[in-house]
Amino acid sequence: MRTPWGLTYGVAPSIAVAQPARIQDEMFRSLQEVQRRKPWLMHKQPERWAAMVMSDNTRTLYGRSAGQVEERYLANVLGTFRACTEAHLPVTIINDWNLTPQDLAQYKVLILPNTASLDDRQSAAIADFVKNGGGLVASLDTSLFDEFGTPRKNFALAEVMGVDYRGLPDATPIDRNVDVNFALSIGPDYWEKRKNSFDFRMVANTFLDQGTLQRYIGLEPVTFKGPAVRVATRADAKIVGTIQSKTAIPGQDSPAMISHTYGKGKVVYFAAGLDAGYYLYSYPYQRLALERAIRWVAPIEAPVKVVAPMCVYSTTMRQPNGKGERLITHLYNNLNTTAGHAFPNDDVPLREEVIPIRDITVSFRNDYRIRNVRQEPEGINLPIERTPTGMKVAVPRLEIHTMVVAELE
């Protein structure tokens, strides 16, 4: 099961040579499936649209210790990646050294999930990227520290994001004056877990206040528990979401999501770490807010749109085919019918069966000139439906892994 998962994300399979005799047949069968897919796995590159930074400098110099790095930084990265995966948004992972004008020019959207440590040249490259029409989504302490982890007085990207740093919000736990019998039944960590607890609320008549988010939470407050910073918005920025501490006096809310335009580009800044929240406890509104922000800042739609359950992981690669090029959209079925029922820290996600998923649709943007589309390695020709926005095909059945291969003219 994990081998095709790796293939979906461009990872070369690695299987230990010494295996118990009872599982060798399964190991060889797995390698045979890789061999069947070999023609579509070689010499490919991601079809670039959105880039998400996984920053070594932030991980090592901002997270500081192994005990802090997951909650302080990696939660933001992993929460964003999870949201993009479930929304089937094509995202390429890049690193600090890719924050150059040349590399950024390949993308339409840049995502900086709490990318705290940025040097002056990287910040200037990001500013130019947005000014020239790129979209930016950033959160929390992005650019508040230099490349050595030394804090700045303000964000290096303050002008781009449309906000100025004002410190941390009041995140004291709620009132400890509770019923005496209840107090006897709670553990010593009860109040500690209730720090950083806020009410999140959407602002009416914004890009956030529509569709599924409007139906899920409307304009009512919903709980957000996680990291946040206080910011002052600049005159040309717009607040699209707010947070308020559970213990604050009503009306003492502060910006949680801010939209801004800078040059030709659009920006959404998260002062509330919904990205970290979606990794740590994952309320659906957090995923929807992240997805909505990415789509809003993008100057052009994603190259490929996959309509499938959230358990289907998808990536799109570009590959030369001798006569031209092709687009290869990987589809991986990660539906697990048995895991997820034990204590999360010890649950082992081993899959024993497969439930096929039917009628997944894959749509290609109308600027692609496509000759034909096949499902591989099954070798099935997929009928093309022409739509006002491009071309669409339906994948009749996905068991574990398949590929939609579009030959380009």
- Among candidate residues 265, 282, 297, the one where a domain is terminated: 297
What is the reported pLDDT for 191? 44
Ramachandran angles phi, psi of 359, nearest 5° = 60, 45
DSSP state string for 198-257: EEEEEPTTSSSSSHHHHHHTTTS-EEEES-B--EEE-TT-EEEEEEEETTSPTT--EEEE
**Residues spanned by the domain of 253:** 50-297
> Which residues, other chains included, contact 132 with Cβ-Cβ below 8 Å and sequence gap of 6+?
263, 264, 265
Structure tokens at 110: 């840049």
Same domain, 32 and 112: no
Same domain, 157 and 86: yes
Q: What does the DSSP 8-state code read for residue 258?
A: E
Chain position carrying tokens 């801010």: 258
pLDDT tens for the chain, 409 residues long, are: 778 889 999 987 777 667 788 878 888 888 899 999 999 999 999 999 999 999 999 998 886 655 678 888 999 999 999 999 999 999 999 999 999 999 999 999 999 999 999 999 999 999 999 999 999 999 999 999 999 989 999 999 999 999 999 998 876 655 556 565 655 555 666 445 546 789 999 999 999 999 999 999 999 999 999 899 999 999 999 999 999 987 766 667 899 999 999 999 999 999 999 999 999 988 999 999 999 999 999 999 999 999 999 999 999 999 998 788 999 999 999 998 876 666 666 666 678 889 999 999 999 999 999 999 999 999 999 999 999 989 999 999 999 999 999 999 8
> Which residues, other chains included, contact 186 with Cβ-Cβ below 8 Å and sequence gap of 6+?
none
HEC letters along 359-388: EEEEEEECCCCEEEEEEECCCEECCCEEEC
- Among candidate residues 297, 330, 352, the one where a domain is terminated: 297
Q: Give the residue among 372, 303, 367 at the shortest CA–CA distance from 46.
A: 303
Report which residue type is found at 22: R
- Among candidate residues 243, 273, 297, the one where a domain is terminated: 297
* Alpha carbon 248 to chain centroid, angstroms: 31
**CATH code for the domain in which residue 255 is found:** 3.40.50.880
3-class SS shares of the chain: helix, strand, coil, % to 5: 30, 30, 40
Give the CA distances from residue 49 to residues 88, 221, 310, 404, in Å, rounded to whole numbers and listed in that order: 12, 33, 20, 18
Handedness of CA 48, 50, 56, 57 (dihedral sign): positive
Same domain, 161 and 251: yes
Number of domains in the chain: 2
Q: Is the distance from CB of 224 to CB of 277 less than 8 angstroms?
A: yes
Q: Is the distance from CB of 60 to CB of 24 less than 8 angstroms?
A: no
Q: What does the DSSP 8-state code read for residue 6?
A: H
Q: Give the residue among 312, 321, 331 at the shortest CA–CA distance from 370.
A: 321
> Which residues, other chains included, contact 97 with Cβ-Cβ below 8 Å and sequence gap of 6+?
none
User: CA torsion angle for 272, 276, 282, 285 (degrees, to 10)?
Assistant: 30
Same domain, 287 and 243: yes
What is the reported pLDDT for 299? 97
Same domain, 185 and 275: yes
What is the reported pLDDT for 184? 58
**CATH code for the domain in which residue 381 is found:** 2.60.40.1180
CA gyration radius, the chain: 23
> Which residues, other chains included, contact 224 with Cβ-Cβ below 8 Å and sequence gap of 6+?
197, 198, 199, 200, 243, 256, 272, 274, 277, 283, 286
Same domain, 70 and 7: no
Ramachandran angles phi, psi of 336, nearest 5° = -115, 120
Full-prediction pTM beyond 0.85? yes
Same domain, 216 and 288: yes
Same domain, 91 and 71: yes
Structure tokens at 391: 């071309």
Query: Which residue(s) pair with 301 in the sheet?
Result: none
Same domain, 309 and 244: no
Same domain, 341 and 265: no
User: CA torsion angle for 339, 344, 345, 348 (degrees, to 10)?
Assistant: 0
Same domain, 12 and 127: no
Same domain, 280 and 381: no
